[in-house]
Amino acid sequence: MPIYEYVCMECESHFEELVRMDETVDCPDCGASKVKKQFSVFAAHGTAAQPSFGGSAGGGCCGGGCGCG
């Protein structure tokens, strides 16, 4: 079963649910059935080297490339 992210259109609560194909979802905070599925990105963990953002190498906003640092 996939995990989907939702937002409640009544109380604006954000939550995740395990959902089967045609299952309806209610807000766990207020019980409203008016919820919308949110777009979420796939996350994976691995051992590959990750890029470093920042530091004194320049580039990127926090690296001083935009004049903020």
CATH of domain 1-41: 2.20.28
Q: Mean pLDDT throughout 1-26?
A: 91
pLDDT at 67: 59
φ, ψ of residue 62 to 5 degrees: the values are -75, -10
CB atoms within 10 A of CB 28: 13
CA distance 32 to 64: 46
pLDDT at 60: 54
Q: CA angle at residue 17 from 13 to 19, to 5 degrees?
A: 140
pLDDT tops 90 at residue 65: no
Domain boundaries, the chain: 1-41
Q: Which distant-in-sequence residues (6+ apart) come within 8 Å of 24 by Cβ?
A: 33
